[in-house]
Amino acid sequence: MADGWAAITAALNATFTEFAMPLWTEAETKARVRVALRESFPVMFGARWEHARDTFYTAFAKHHLQHVRPMPGATDALAAGAPWPQGVVSNKSGPYLRAEVVRLGWQAHFRAVIGAGDAPKDKPDPAPIHLALEQLGHKATPSVWYLGDTALDMQAARAAGVTAVLIGDAAHDGGVAQAAPHLHFTSALDLAARLRVVSDRAAC
């Protein structure tokens, strides 16, 4: 629900500069960044991946809150989802993720905020979703919706035994069919509209 791609791209490029590697555009970052840093950096930087990690986080910490902003329709979707318990599961580092929630003023919406490193494994492993559900006091069933905008998010949701809900077109992952969600909404605004209908029906 929060767009932090500009900050991620800037921190990656600071790291690439340190290692004399080609820089990425924001579009390239969106297309290539999926798994958590602790999985991707050993592949990208080899034996020096920990130095790359420290370089990335130093750069990211300086400016990431200046870049973070709600995705279009996110505020509407959060408000429409208020009748149900809500949480966040992300492959962003946990402390940075929680700082972003505070920055956006979304603390009241979420009873669980789980980032990379908070569970034994990160997405697409189901462990972080299960940890969030434990904090919410819910079991993993199809009645739980996990929202995401990537094929990896849908993979994690299916592995966790919850309903995989895709927001957007998953263009960087080969499209909606390739992402294989259980439910699909073209935007967060469309999701908000559906949630309001479901809430109104439940109130009748």
| Residues 34, 87 within the same domain | no
Angle at 55 between CA 70 and CA 93, to 5 degrees: 40
Q: Are 98 and 90 in contact (CB under 8 A)?
A: no
| Residues 88, 188 within the same domain | yes
| Residues 102, 190 within the same domain | yes
| Residues 88, 48 within the same domain | no
Number of domains in the chain: 2
pLDDT of residue 1: 67
Q: Are 192 and 77 in contact (CB under 8 A)?
A: yes
Q: Are strands 86-93 and 69-70 parallel, antiparallel or unpaired?
A: unpaired
Return phi, psi of residue 66, to 5°: -75, -25
Can you give the CATH number for the domain in which 110 is found? 3.40.50.1000
User: Of 42, 69, 96, which residue sits at a domain end?
Assistant: 69
| Residues 49, 128 within the same domain | no
Q: Could you give the CA distance from residue 55 to residue 21 in angstroms, rounded to a whole number?
A: 14
Quick one: 27 exposed, middle or buried, by C-beta within 10 A (0-12, 13-18, 19+)?
exposed
| Residues 150, 95 within the same domain | yes
pLDDT of residue 204: 67
| Residues 167, 177 within the same domain | yes
pLDDT averaged over consecutive 10-residue blocks of the chain (204 residues)? 82 96 93 88 96 94 84 94 97 92 95 96 97 97 96 97 97 93 97 94 76
Identity of residue 127: A
CA 180 to chain centre: 17
125: three-class secondary structure by DSSP: coil
pLDDT of residue 4: 79
Per-residue pLDDT tens digits for 39-85: 999 999 999 999 999 999 999 888 888 888 888 899 999 999 999 99
User: Of 40, 69, 98, which residue sits at a domain end?
Assistant: 69
pLDDT of residue 185: 98
| Residues 54, 41 within the same domain | yes
| Residues 94, 182 within the same domain | yes
Q: Are strands 110-116 and 2-3 parallel, antiparallel or unpaired?
A: unpaired
| Residues 179, 152 within the same domain | yes
| Residues 165, 199 within the same domain | yes
Q: Are 190 and 165 in contact (CB under 8 A)?
A: no
Residue with tokens 């900050």: 7
User: Of 41, 69, 97, which residue sits at a domain end?
Assistant: 69
| Residues 55, 137 within the same domain | no
pLDDT of residue 25: 95
Domain hosting residue 21, numbered range? 2-69
